[in-house]
C-alpha cells in the first residue's frame, strides 16, 4: 500500500516509541512528543539483526494492544518529497518482524491536536514475538546480547533515558533497566 493511500496528501508522520526516540537517522521536518492510545510498550520482540544475532537474539520493544493504556513517544514529520526514501530506509531497519501500521496520535504539547501516523509494530504472528516474558527473564537475555547495532543493555538504557527526557513513566522499561544492574 502506498503512503498516499495510508495517510493522504499531507507530509506524513512517523511515530517512534523505541530506538527511534534516540536514533532517528533520517531527515525530518519536525519532531514532537505525542501519545498513541490503546497500546503498551513491551520487550516482547526478539532482535536477531540489531541487538543480537540469529543464534542469540536480543530483545527490543514493540507495542501490544491494551485498551486502557497509552504510550508516549515522538512523532517525526517527514517532507512529502522524501517520504518514499525515508520509509524505504525504515522498512529495511525494522525488517525483523515489524510491519507498518497507521494510528491516530495526539500531540502532548502545544500546539495540541492529532494526526494520523505510521508506526512499526511487531505483532504476535511474527516468528520473533516472545509474549508474556517476565522482566527478570528479559533482563537476563538483554545482559548478554550483542549485535551489529551494539549491546542490548545500551539499547535499554538509552531508551529509558529518552523516555525520561520526554516525561514518559514506563514501569516495564524502567524495571528492566533496574534489573540490568542486579547480579544475574
| Digit-coded pLDDT (tens) for 22-77 | 999 999 999 999 999 999 999 999 999 999 999 999 999 999 999 999 999 999 99
Task: Map out the domains of the chain as residue ranges.
Answer: 3-178
Q: What topology does CATH give the domain 3-178?
A: Hypothetical upf0131 protein ytfp (3.10.490)
Q: What is the pLDDT of residue 183?
A: 72
pLDDT value of residue 86: 94
Q: What is the pLDDT of residues 115-153, one digit of tens each?
A: 999 999 999 999 999 987 899 999 999 999 999 999 999
State the catalytic residues.
94
| CA-angle at 91, arms to 88 and 94, nearest 5° | 150
Is 63 in contact with 93 (CB distance < 8 Å)?
A: no
- pLDDT score of 51: 95
pLDDT bucket at 173, cuts 50 / 70 / 90 = very high
Q: What torsion do the CA atoms of 118, 73, 28, 20 make, to the nearest 10 degrees?
A: -90
The model's pTM is 0.92
pLDDT at 93 > cutoff 70? yes
Q: What is the pLDDT of residue 3?
A: 52
Give the Cα separation of 33 and 51 in Å (integer): 25
What is residue 1's predicted lDDT score, i.e. its pLDDT? 46
Contact 129, 122 (CB under 8 A): yes
Q: Under a CB-based contact definition with an 8 Å cutoff, are residues 90 and 72 in contact?
A: no
Buried b (16+ CB within 10 A) or exposed e, 58-86: bbbbbbbeeeeeebbbbbbbbeeebbeeb
Amino acid at each position: 500500500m502506498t503512503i498516499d493511500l495510508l495517510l493522504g496528501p499531507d507530509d506524513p508522520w512517523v511515530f517512534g516509541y523505541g530506538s527511534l526516540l534516540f536514533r532517528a537517522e533520517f531527515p525530518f521536518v519536525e519532531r514532537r512528543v505525542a501519545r498513541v492510545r490503546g497500546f503498551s510498550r513491551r520487550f516482547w520482540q526478539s532482535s536477531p539483526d540489531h541487538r543480537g544475532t540469529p543464534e542469540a537474539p536480543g530483545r527490543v520493544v514493540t507495542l501490544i494492544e491494551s485498551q486502557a493504556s497509552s504510550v508516549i513517544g515522538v512523532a517525526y514529520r517527514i517532507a512529502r518529497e522524501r517520504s518514499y526514501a525515508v520509509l524505504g530506509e525504515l522498512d529495511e531497519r525494522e525488517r525483523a518482524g515489524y510491519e507498518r501500521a497507521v494510528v491516530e496520535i495526539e500531540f502532548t504539547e502545544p500546539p495540541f491536536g492529532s494526526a494520523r501516523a505510521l508506526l512499526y509494530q511487531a505483532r504476535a504472528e511474527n516468528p520473533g514475538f516472545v509474549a508474556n516474558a517476565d522482566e527478570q527473564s528479559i533482563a537476563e537475555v538483554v545482559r548478554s546480547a550483542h549485535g551489529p547495532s551494539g549491546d542490548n543493555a545500551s539499547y535499554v538504557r538509552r531508551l529509558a533515558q529518552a523516555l525520561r527526557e520526554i516525561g514518559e513513566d514506563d514501569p516495564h522499561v524502567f524495571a528492566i533497566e533496574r534489573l540490568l544492574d542486579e547480579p544475574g
